[in-house]
Amino acid sequence: MSRNQKVLAAVVAVLVVVACLAAVWVFVLHGGDAIRWRSDFHIDRLEELSELVTLRVQVSDVLCAEADGVRAAFLVAGDAVISVDMGLAQVANRDDAARTATLLLPGPSVLNARVDHRRTLTYDVRRRLFTSSRAESRVRDAAMARAQGLIEVAAGSKENIGRARSNAEKTLRLLFKRLGWDVEIAWQGAGRSR
């Protein structure tokens, strides 16, 4: 081997070692897959609420979606809050001397439902050949929107609304009892409860 060939081989070897060290430095020491975040969140609006939250419902299920050459399965977890809008409550049959009254309430309803993205997992995603990554994103976004709607429907079951109603009655009776009042609860569009 000539002297020039030896020098060239040594230079190539050094370059390979430097490239390997650089790759280790970038991908291992500095987390080549690390996500760099940039955000500039601002408050859009504030909304005053007068909700009596009486039940939180935890929901989980498997959701499968297929569209645009993408098949995906998600392990979805989320929750919903059921409440009574106390801003719509009315007092009827008030007797200050006897300290009795009837409290007319709107029925409980799902205040909000959400997908818990910390507990929700992508189980499987399969794409046909030449399917774009945008198609995968569209399927994932549509699946999460669908999941949120399904969480709301599951949480708003007749059984859960009944539990929320019962919890509201117990809470309000206890509150008024501590204030020295005997309150009868009546639900708008439903019979009275005592």
* pLDDT tens-digit readout, 91-118: 999 999 999 999 999 999 999 999 999 9
Q: How many structural domains does the chain have?
A: 1
pTM to 2 decimals? 0.72
26 domain residue, yes or no: no
* pLDDT tens-digit readout, 45-83: 888 889 999 999 999 999 999 888 888 999 999 999 999
d(CA 187, CA 109): 13
152 domain residue, yes or no: yes
Dihedral sign for Cα atoms in the order 8, 9, 14, 16: positive
Mind giving me the DSSP string for the chain? Answer: --HHHHHHHHHHHHHHHHHHHHHHIIIIITTTTPPPP-------------EEEEEEEEEEEEEEEEETTEEEEEEEEEEEEEEEEGGG-EEEEEETTTTEEEEEEPPPEEEEEEE-TTT-EEEEEEE-TT--HHHHHHHHHHHHHHHHHHHHHHHT-HHHHHHHHHHHHHHHHHHHHHTT-EEEEEETTS-EE-
55 domain residue, yes or no: yes
Containing structural domain, residue 170: 50-193
42 domain residue, yes or no: no
147 domain residue, yes or no: yes
185 domain residue, yes or no: yes
84 domain residue, yes or no: yes
61 domain residue, yes or no: yes
Percentage of the chain exceeding pLDDT 90: 57
More confident residue, 51 or 128: 51
Average the pLDDT over 15-43 and give the result: 68
